[in-house]
A and B are shown apart, each in its own frame.
Chain A
Amino acid sequence: MPFPFHPAGDDPVPAAVRGFARAHADLVALHEDPIHLLARHRAPGRRVGLVSGGGSGHEPLHAGFLGRGMLDAVAPGPVFTSPHNKAVLYASRAAAGPDGVIHIVKNYTGDRINFGIAAERLRMEGVDVARVLVDDDLATDGLDTATGRRGTGATVVVEKILGAAADSGAGLAELATLGADVAAASRSLAVASRAQTSMRTGEPAFALDGRLDYGVGIHGERARRSVDRPPTEELVDRMLDEVVAGLPDGPDQVVMVVNGMGGTALLELYVLAELAAAGLEARGLERVGLLVGTFVPALDMAGFSLTLTRMRPEWTGLWAAPAQTAAFPRTETS
Chain B
Amino acid sequence: MTDHRPLDQDAVLARFARAVEDGHGVLTDLDQHSGDGDYGDNLRAGVRLAVALAGRGPQRGFGALGEVFLDEVGGTSGPLLGLLFSEIARALSYGSADTAAFAAGARAGLTAIQRVGEAEVGDRTMVDALAPAVTALDRSGYAAAAAAALDGAERTAELAARHGRASYVGERAKGAPDPGAVGVALLFAAVAAVAEPGAEVADPLAGRA
Tell me the B97-138 residues at the A interface (CB within 8 Å): 112, 115-118
- The CA-CA distance from A86 to B70 in the complex, in Å, is 7
Main secondary structure of the interface of B (DSSP, over half): helix
A99 on the interface (CB 8 Å rule)?
no
Chain B contact residues, CB within 8 Å of chain A: 70-71, 74, 76, 79-80, 82-83, 86-87, 90, 112, 115-118, 162
- Using known A-B contacts A120-B112, A124-B90, A146-B162, determine if residue A113 contacts B117 with beta carbons closer than 8 Å: yes
- The CA-CA distance from A90 to B154 in the complex, in Å, is 38
What are the residues of chain A within 8 A of B80 when measuring CB–CB?
113, 117
A197 on the interface (CB 8 Å rule)?
no
Q: Which of B70, B82, B115, B162 has the most CB of A within 10 A?
A: B70
| B115: contacting residue among A84, A86, A116, A124, CB under 8 A | A116
Count of CB-CB pairs between chains A and B under 8 Å: 37
- The CA-CA distance from A114 to B87 in the complex, in Å, is 17
Check if B116 sits within 8 Å of A116, measured CB to CB: yes
What are the residues of chain B within 8 A of A116 when measuring CB–CB?
115-117
What are the residues of chain A within 8 A of B82 when measuring CB–CB?
117
Number of interface residues of A (CB under 8 A): 14
Shortest CB-to-CB span from B171 to chain A, Å, is: 15
| B79: contacting residue among A85, A119, A124, A146, CB under 8 A | A85
Closest to A34 in B: B71
Check if A86 sits within 8 Å of B116, measured CB to CB: no
What are the residues of chain A within 8 A of B71 when measuring CB–CB?
86
What are the residues of chain A within 8 A of B70 when measuring CB–CB?
85-86, 117, 121
A-B contact list, 21 entries, CB within 8 Å? A84-B74, A84-B79, A85-B70, A86-B70, A110-B76, A112-B116, A112-B118, A113-B79, A114-B76, A114-B79, A116-B115, A116-B116, A116-B117, A117-B70, A119-B116, A120-B112, A120-B115, A121-B70, A121-B86, A124-B87, A146-B162
| A117: contacting residue among B83, B87, B90, B162, CB under 8 A | B83
Tell me the A101-159 residues at the B interface (CB within 8 Å): 110, 112-114, 116-117, 119-121, 124, 146
Check if B90 sits within 8 Å of A113, measured CB to CB: no
- The CA-CA distance from A9 to B179 in the complex, in Å, is 33
